[in-house]
């Protein structure tokens, strides 16, 4: 329940200003930015995601630490399952990108 998943904003949705494409260890999904409207994130920002909504902005170093911690907690798989599950059959399919920070922590 309390999973907070770090992701990097890789695309802002020009049509829906509240949505952004976020990359989590190579998996890209749309998340809702509506809860961060007082500190509007920009492209390249790192956020903590909870149930499909960005909850807070964090630094890149903290994002990498957070992913490592999820791995240590044995919850990295559940986190990735959650991220993959966002959007139920959305047209965005998993796009693996190489060299993204954090990738080395997930097998």
Among residue numbers 47 through 76, which ones bind other proteins (CB under 8 A)? 48, 50-53, 55-56, 58-59, 62, 65, 68-69, 72-75
Q: State which of residues 13, 17, 85, 97 lies at the interface with other proteins (CB under 8 A).
A: 85
Q: Which of 62, 27, 57, 30 is nearest to 44 (CA)?
A: 57
Q: Which of 88, 65, 86, 89 is nearest to 76 (CA)?
A: 65
Least distance from other proteins to the Cβ atom of residue 97, Å: 21
Q: According to the binding rule CB under 8 A, does residue 42 interact with other proteins?
A: no
Least distance from other proteins to the Cβ atom of residue 15, Å: 15
Residues in the chain, overall count: 107
Which residue number, 10 or 69, has a Cβ lying nearer to other proteins?
A: 69
Contact of 50 with 107, CB cutoff 8 Å: no
Rounded CA separation 40/42 (Å): 7
Rounded CA separation 91/58 (Å): 28
* Interface contacts to other proteins, rule CB under 8 A: 1-2, 4, 32, 34-38, 48, 50-53, 55-56, 58-59, 62, 65, 68-69, 72-75, 81-83, 85-88
């Amino acid at each position: 329940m309390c999973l907070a998943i770090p992701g990097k904003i890789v695309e802002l949705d020009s049509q829906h200003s509240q949505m952004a494409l976020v990359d989590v260890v190579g998996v890209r999904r749309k998340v809702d930015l509506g809860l961060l409207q007082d500190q509007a994130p920009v492209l390249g920002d790192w956020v903590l995601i909870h149930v499909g909504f960005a909850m807070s902005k964090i630094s890149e170093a903290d994002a990498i630490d957070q992913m490592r911690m999820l791995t240590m907690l044995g919850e990295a798989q559940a986190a990735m399952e959650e991220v993959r599950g966002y959007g139920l059959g959305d047209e965005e399919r998993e796009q693996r990108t190489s060299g993204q920070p954090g990738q080395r922590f997930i097998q």
